């Protein structure tokens, strides 16, 4: 049917569903009226970046006005920022798996309550490149963990739950085709490694702690490259797992730094 799924039977018995971190709710807002025709959701770490993206989409879609006065739909909270440009929703998710996970839970419930259909969600942002030219865009075909496995592990109560992180293959190819219209933007498909930390977790030598040698770092990154990893960030496994489980076409292209 194209509807966004929620996999939580407890929601049916709730009188009201409050999306705490988005400052929205099923009783306080008419979610179908506000969001029912949304077809694309783009998410990224920075609130300012997502506002700029919404303004860009406003211009590209030829909407009325200059887009400078776009309102933050989540202005009642300082956790996330959300902007609307026609059928495109632009939302910030902060940094790391906990932050994007909270946002995605509430976003998915929002799309469900709004009765949205055939929604595509794309995470845009930056990442650390691995063996690719700086500035290249890596289109993720599979999000992998620090052991290069396509899985998202989460502790639920006292159980370790493992979920698949494969992304929509057709969407991967569609984005690669679109990239060919921008000749000065090098684009490739590859695995994205998701870590729980920016410093030691990504093999950096400049954190407050470092428990490995530069040689050990290079050996690890070579193994990652040989396993198909082309960029590293901190959100993709949670993003892929949640999108897959809830019936959202999801993809996570990211610009790679050196």
Annotated binding site: 79, 123-126, 202, 204
CA-CA distance, 182 to 59, in Å (whole number)?
18
Long-range contacts (CB closer than 8 Å, 24 or more residues apart) made by 45-53 = 45/92, 45/93, 45/94, 45/95, 45/125, 45/235, 46/92, 47/72, 47/80, 47/81, 47/92, 49/92, 49/125, 50/81, 50/82, 50/83, 50/90, 50/91, 50/92, 51/81, 51/83, 51/90, 53/90, 53/124
Strand 249-251 vs strand 159-164: parallel, antiparallel, or unpaired?
Answer: unpaired
Structure tokens at 192: 């994205």
Please check whether residue 249 is in contact with residue 119, taking contact to mean a CB–CB distance below 8 angstroms.
yes
Q: Which residues does 105 contact at the CB level (< 8 Å), separation at least 6?
A: 242
Binding residues for substrate: 202, 204
Binding residues for phosphate: 79, 123-126
Query: Which DSSP symbol is given to 173?
Result: H
Structure tokens at 34: 């506000």
Alpha carbons within 13 angstroms on the beta-carbon side of residue 165 total 25
């Amino acid at each position: 049917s194209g509807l966004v799924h929620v996999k939580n039977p407890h929601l049916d018995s709730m009188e009201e569903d409050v999306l705490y971190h988005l400052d929205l709710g099923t009783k306080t807002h008419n979610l179908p009226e506000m969001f029912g025709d949304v077809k694309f959701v783009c998410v990224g770490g920075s609130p300012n970046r997502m506002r700029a993206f919404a303004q860009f989409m406003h211009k590209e879609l030829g909407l009325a006005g200059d887009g400078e006065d776009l309102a933050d739909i989540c202005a009642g909270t300082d956790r996330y920022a959300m902007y609307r440009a026609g059928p495109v929703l632009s939302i910030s998710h902060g940094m790391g798996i906990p932050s994007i996970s909270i946002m995605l839970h509430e976003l998915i419930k929002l799309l469900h309550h709004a009765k949205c259909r055939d929604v595509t969600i794309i995470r845009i942002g930056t990442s650390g490149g691995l063996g690719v030219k700086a500035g290249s865009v890596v289109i993720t075909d599979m999000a992998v963990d620090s052991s290069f496995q396509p899985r998202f592990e989460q502790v639920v109560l006292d159980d370790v739950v493992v979920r698949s992180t494969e992304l929509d293959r057709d969407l991967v190819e569609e984005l690669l085709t679109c990239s060919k219209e921008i000749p000065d933007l090098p684009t490739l498909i590859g695995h994205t490694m998701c870590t729980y930390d920016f410093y030691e977790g990504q093999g950096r030598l400049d954190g407050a702690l470092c428990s490995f040698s530069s040689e050990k770092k290079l050996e690890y990154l070579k193994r990652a490259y040989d396993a198909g990893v082309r960029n590293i960030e901190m959100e993709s496994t949670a993003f892929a797992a949640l999108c897959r489980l809830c019936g959202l076409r999801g993809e996570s292209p990211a610009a790679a730094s050196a």
